[in-house]
Homo-oligomer: A and B are copies of this chain.
Amino acid sequence: MKEIKLGVIGCGYWGPNLIRNFSENYHTDIKYVCDINENRLERIRLRYPHITATTNYKNILKDNDIQVVAIATPVHSHYNLAKDALEAGKHLLIEKPFTSKVKEAEELVELANKKNLMLFVDHTFIYTGAVKKIKEVISSGGVGDIYYFDSVRVNLGLFQSDINVIWDLAPHDVAIMDYLLTEKPKSVVATGASHTHSKIEDIAYVSINFKNNLIAHFHLNWMSPVKIRRIILGGNKKMIVFDDLDPADKVKIYDKGITLAKTNKKTVYQNRIQYRIGDMYAPNIDNTEALKIMVDHLADCLLNKKTPITDGESGLRVVRILEAAEKSMKKGGIKISL
């Protein structure tokens, strides 16, 4: 028998993926789905006749069998739904971005801690084979000191009506950065532009400075004629390119870089920099669906009292950067300290 009973709130774009993966997991048992849109519920009912479909999420909260509530609604509704669920004593899975304000995220983290409930943020990319492999390489010291983290996520569409391109696309890459790097960001500068009547920015550039000479940058664009999803991560030992759209070799590890000759004498500058151009290596990547691994991890955390890799704290750190980036962008690119 599946031990973990849960309900899913929100059956739009991502909810059905959660439902499918919860159904296929050996520990999780979906008892409820909820959406305010009846058509969406109808589609779920056809495929999963045994699940109770409701338009009122409170029906889920008051069922004592339910241990976990998964929230896959638009971000502006996360805070209220999450607060209600936590107060009803439910563990939580929340879609990214965690909340639309730092204050809300802080409150939810605090509340979950107080009530000793799990707060799991669905930063799905953290559970991909590619990101896991990169983490291993970094953790083993293979990359050395990290110099930069450069991310591009651009495509034509899908324009959102309630959030701008930063809140829509950056959570993926900022969460990956947060997972891979241990350094703390110091300040954010962001610029962007809107090209529709909505004034919602469809293109944005976010730059993050750290205490040392590490720098991170995010290019986010809903209006690109070509689709690019690529992270370049440079270190003093190795450099990594993660191209999520390369079907064959998603992660390439380059033995390239510069070597700084250690010398006290005053020598000509050029002589001190040596280029190292070595081999490239593309490790085989586990292709298991990331959402499946996320659900496995969620079940493991609940059953074995573990802390999720993508807990509320990590969700909060991501929201802090998104909020600062938006603020910088709205003011034309001023520098915001974190």
On A, residues with C-beta under 8 Å from B are: 147-148, 150, 154, 156-157, 159, 161, 187, 189, 191-198, 203, 205, 207, 209, 213-215, 217, 219, 221, 223-227, 232, 234, 236, 239-241, 245, 247-249, 252, 254-258, 260, 268-270, 272-273, 275, 277-284, 332-335
Residues in B neighbouring A191, C-beta threshold 8 A: 189, 207, 209, 215, 217
| Cα separation A219 to B209 with both chains bound (whole Å) | 15
Assess whether A284 is in contact with B273, with CB atoms less than 8 Å apart: no
Residue of B nearest to A263 (CB): B197
Kindly provide the distance from the CB of A180 to the nearest chain B CB, expressed in whole angstroms.
16
Minimum Cβ distance to chain B for residue A259 (Å): 10
- Flag if B332 contacts A203 (CB, 8 Å): no
Known: A213-B194, A217-B191. A270 touches B335 (CB 8 A): no
Q: Is the CB of A281 within 8 A of B284?
A: no
User: In whole angstroms, what is the CA distance A104 to B221 when docked?
Assistant: 38
Q: Check A193 against B147 for contact (C-beta < 8 Å).
A: yes
Given known contacts A161-B268, A203-B215, A272-B197, A332 and B335 CB-to-CB distance under 8 angstroms: yes
* B333 pairs with A223, CB closer than 8 A: no
Determine the chain B residues whose CB is within 8 A of the CB of A241 once the complex forms: 225-226
Q: Least Cβ distance of A328 to chain B in Å?
A: 9
CB distance from A253 to the nearest CB of B (A): 9
The answer to whether B275 touches A284, judged by C-beta atoms less than 8 angstroms apart, is: no
Q: How far is the CB of A208 from chain B (nearest CB, A)?
A: 8
* Contact (Cβ within 8 A) B223 A257: yes
- Considering the chains assembled together, what is the distance between the CA atoms of A257 and B195 in angstroms? 11
18 pairs, A vs B, C-beta closer than 8 Å? A147-B195, A148-B193, A148-B221, A156-B257, A156-B275, A161-B268, A189-B191, A195-B236, A205-B215, A209-B332, A225-B232, A225-B256, A225-B257, A226-B232, A227-B247, A248-B280, A279-B281, A281-B281
